[in-house]
Amino acid sequence: MQENIKKISVLGCGRWGSCIAWYLDKIGYEVFSCGLPDAPEFVRLYHERKNDYLAYPDSIKMTSNLAEAINHGEIIIIAISAQYLRSYMKDISQHSLKNKTIVLCMKGIEEATGLRLSEVVSSFVNEDETPVAVWVGPGHPQDYIKNIPNCMVIDSNNDVIKKRLVRQFNSELIRFYLGTDLIGSEIGAAAKNVVGLAAGMLDGLNYSSLKGALMARGTAEIARLISAIGGNWKSAYGLCHLGDYEATLFSPWSHNRRYGEELIKGNKFEKLAEGVSTAKALIKLGTKYDVELPIAEAVCTVLFENANPEETLSRLFLRSVKDEF
């Protein structure tokens, strides 16, 4: 990747994909925003140049032609639902990706395999020719468009690539930190959505005061998992996980928190909540690496086994003092 990269394609036009396209255009890149031709979010952006979160300036080009987008971008940013990444990569990999960099701006674990998203992409590309990085951390489009700053992380197995991306994408609006643990960055970022579901359930039960205990236990739980997989347990206490709790466990804009709250209230939440599939994937990883994940297990029993939410979540906080972590 050259230092003077200017052309970027963002694949995905949802809440986060559109925000990334808007941000990269704002800091001076030539941006192609690509979506599926029949996807409602793409159709609205294409015809109205806006969605519920932001408006596209004229400088952002839009296309539903995947080949056109890939040919344009020296950096290919993917921001779609995590569970569709594998099928999307089958289409993407039909085009030449040599000397391009793929950046995943999405948080999840593949439910069927328990693989991290960078592992899914790496099964389709040669990382010596097509480096893979992740862009994770806290933030909401509703804040960014108001010029409210935040901090995020870029991580990769390729030290040169991640340093260049941090340097090139940095601005006063988003301060990027250099990730040093790809396993921890990905697992932490994905798992915070599951903790977000639990937080929303507590809100729905009017037990919001227990979020402090949830935060303490959640971070320790994910730190154990990261360590067992081979990452640095301290990553759970960084921006990828604990640092993202404010945006996920408390914000009214958090889809995962809202999903959990509306579930308890008997309402259906229609927007994407990645934590639902990630909860199942975490259980798979916990079994594989022999790590107890009581929060993920509680969330799964409520979501998929019709367990009583109040009884299930209350049991999480009735453990003895000696078992705090």
What one-character-per-residue DSSP string does 70-105 give? Answer: HHH-SEEEE-S-GGGHHHHHHHHTTS--TT-EEEE-
* DSSP structural state of residue 208: G
Paired strand residues for 9: 32, 76
Which helix (H) or strand (E) element contains residue 209? none
Q: How far apart are CA 322 and CA 324, in angstroms?
A: 6
- Do 3 and 164 contact (CB within 8 A), yes or no? yes
Decide: 107 and 136 in contact? Cβ < 8 Å: yes
DSSP 51: -
Residues counted in the chain = 325
Q: What are residue 116's phi and psi, to 5 degrees?
A: -70, 155
Active site residue 268: no
Q: What are phi and psi of 202, to 5 degrees?
A: -65, -40
Closest CA to 135 of 60, 186, 70: 186
Residue closest to 247 by CA, chosen among 258, 236, 234: 258
- Helix axis angle for 294-304 and 309-316, nearest 10°, is 180
Helix-helix angle 309-316:211-229, to 10 degrees: 70
Which residue out of 192, 265, 288, 322 is catalytically annotated?
192
Q: What whole-number distance in Å separates Cα of residue 245 and Cα of residue 218?
A: 10
- Say how far apart CA 85 and CA 7 lie, in whole Å: 22
Residue 254 vs residues 69, 138, 232, 246: alpha-carbon distances, Å = 29, 11, 27, 10
Distance CA 43, CA 41 (A): 6
Which of the residues are catalytic? 192
